[in-house]
Structure 1
Amino acid sequence: MNLKNLTTLDKVTYSILLLVFAVGIYFAQTDLNYFDTVYAAEDGIAENATAIFLACISLLQFSRFIKFFKSKSTTWKIGVFLMACVFLFGAGEEISWGQRIFNVESSEYFIENNAQGETNLHNLVVEGKKVNKVIFSQLLTLILVLYLIITPFLYRKVNWIKNLATMFAVPIVKWHHTIAFLVGTSLLIFMDSNRKWEIYELSFAVIFLLIFLNPFNKKEIY
């Protein structure tokens, strides 16, 4: 990673993320109970922060949709609007659509079919299998590999991929974004807890916000 290519925001954000991982690794190694019940707890700081960063991406895209509505193509509008909706959905799912914040009880369906009895889709259990594992983990992993590693290569080499990304305003990652994800993924091995995914999801949200703020193809799509 060439530090000269990093903005001040990138440097500050990556430094904070490294600190978050470092503290997480420390507690995961020395006080697993504290890590599980406080640092990466359900409804804890990490989970709520993830929802906030995802919501920020959604708001960013909605603001761009409104700002450039008259001057951009239909495909551009479709791409930006869909991405805004996807991240809004992610933010809502992360906090179960405010259920615990507003103390709203789940419907009978979610009580019976949700692994945590909450009003969200990613914890649904269908025929004994958690939707989170099949779709939100396995499928998302495949999408991330395609988006973070394969697409940047194709964008730089294949014209029709570049044109397609421009048409639908798909932000292309810079290589330091990819490296940051790989570093964060590798650090997970030092956290022997299922709650480590809360830290990983937080890093996901933060790095994606950096990507959408300043993608490789910013001049082409914004």
Structure 2
Amino acid sequence: MKSSLNTLQLKRSIITAFLCSVLFVCVNLLLYTDAFKNIGQEDGVAENIGAVSFFLTSILFFKLFLAARKTPTPKEGRDLGGWYWFLALALLFFFVAGEEISWGQRIFGWATPDWMRDSNVQEETTIHNLEIFNAHTKEHELKPFWQSLITMNRMFSLFWLAWCFCMPLAMAFSAKLRQLVAFFGVPIPRFFYGCLFLATYIAAKSFVIVLQPEELIIEFLDEIKESFYAVIFLAVALNFVKRSKSQTEQA
């Protein structure tokens, strides 16, 4: 990444982020219509889009891992990171995609193991719905703030915030951080995508605060928000593929 964000890049990021937030709000307003009120339900359109996007993201990062394994790493000038980062990202998004569809449980209809059902908020085969990682208790009561700090959703939000927004922004102003990132070979997304994540997050929070929807609408909104995140991560992976091809052609 270059040492600074130029004005044009910053303007594009802000404008596109604003449009993304407007689109998010418009999609969620559809929840109040009869025709589209169920797009955010379990196994609905939003969840399926999210699951497919996460799977595709995993595949793309795995392809980048294979390509990086075959490519000799030069001593300097390589900004896409080592193969181990791409493998870690591929495994991460495969896990997220599997969690989105309960690892196929609702597709194939197998029973949830007893040990997992007893501690799972939705009594299904997922890790993120285990009571310890969920914002709700087994009795579907909202946990106090401090007990909900380690929820999967919160950790996932911290992940995109750190990797896609804070890291690119900090690197634009810190030469030492750029050197450290280059030393460890960490692949860093464009700041543009971090703005899209942040815009989606702010739009979701604002939607709930301003409209104060019922609990079911909030649950559907969360599914739509996750699908937006998934599509943005897919765009991030596609951008890495594009950068990898460009780098290969220049080699």
Structure 2 residue identity aligned to 1:212 = A
Out of 172, 177, 182, the position equivalent to 1:156 is 172
**Partner Cα distance (1:132, 1:62) in 2:** 32
Shift in Å, 1:109: 1.1
Shift in Å, 1:206: 0.8
Structure 2 residue identity aligned to 1:214 = N
Kept in 2, the 8 Å contact 1:78–1:168? The answer is: no
Kept in 1, the 8 Å contact 2:24–2:200? The answer is: no
Equivalence for 2:232: 207
1:95 partnered with 2:120: no
Change in CA separation of 1:3 and 1:78 when aligned onto 2, cut-off 3 Å? closer
1:22 partnered with 2:38: no
Equivalence for 1:176: 192
1:50-129 to structure 2, matched below 5 A, reads: 50-73=50-73, 76-126=82-132, 128=137
Could you say what the CA RMSD is over the residues aligned between the two structures, in angstroms?
Answer: 3.6
Which runs of 5 or more residues in structure 1 are unaligned? none
Shift in Å, 1:126: 3.5
Change in CA separation of 1:168 and 1:86 when aligned onto 2, cut-off 3 Å? farther
**Partner Cα distance (2:56, 2:183) in 1:** 23
Shift in Å, 1:57: 1.0
Change in CA separation of 1:72 and 1:182 when aligned onto 2, cut-off 3 Å? same
Shift in Å, 1:169: 5.0
**Partner Cα distance (2:101, 2:42) in 1:** 10
Structure 2 residue identity aligned to 1:87 = F
Change in CA separation of 1:42 and 1:19 when aligned onto 2, cut-off 3 Å? same
Structure 2 residue identity aligned to 1:94 = E
Shift in Å, 1:160: 4.3
What are the superposed Cα offsets for residues 54-104 of structure 1, whole Å, 9 maximum, x if unpaired? 11111001112222312245x712111111100100101111111111111
- 1:195 match: secondary structure: helix
Structure 1 residue identity aligned to 2:121 = A
Identity among equivalent positions (%) equals 29
Which runs of 5 or more residues in structure 2 are unaligned? 1-6, 74-80
Out of 196, 203, 207, the position equivalent to 1:190 is 207
Shift in Å, 1:119: 0.6
Whose RCO is larger (CA < 8 A, sep 6+)?
2
1:44 partnered with 2:61: no
Kept in 2, the 8 Å contact 1:77–1:168? The answer is: no
Kept in 2, the 8 Å contact 1:124–1:132? The answer is: no
Shift in Å, 1:157: 3.0
| TM-score computed with the length of structure 2 as normaliser | 0.69
Change in CA separation of 1:16 and 1:158 when aligned onto 2, cut-off 3 Å? closer
* Largest Rg, 1 or 2: 2
Kept in 2, the 8 Å contact 1:80–1:168? The answer is: no
| TM-score computed with the length of structure 1 as normaliser | 0.77
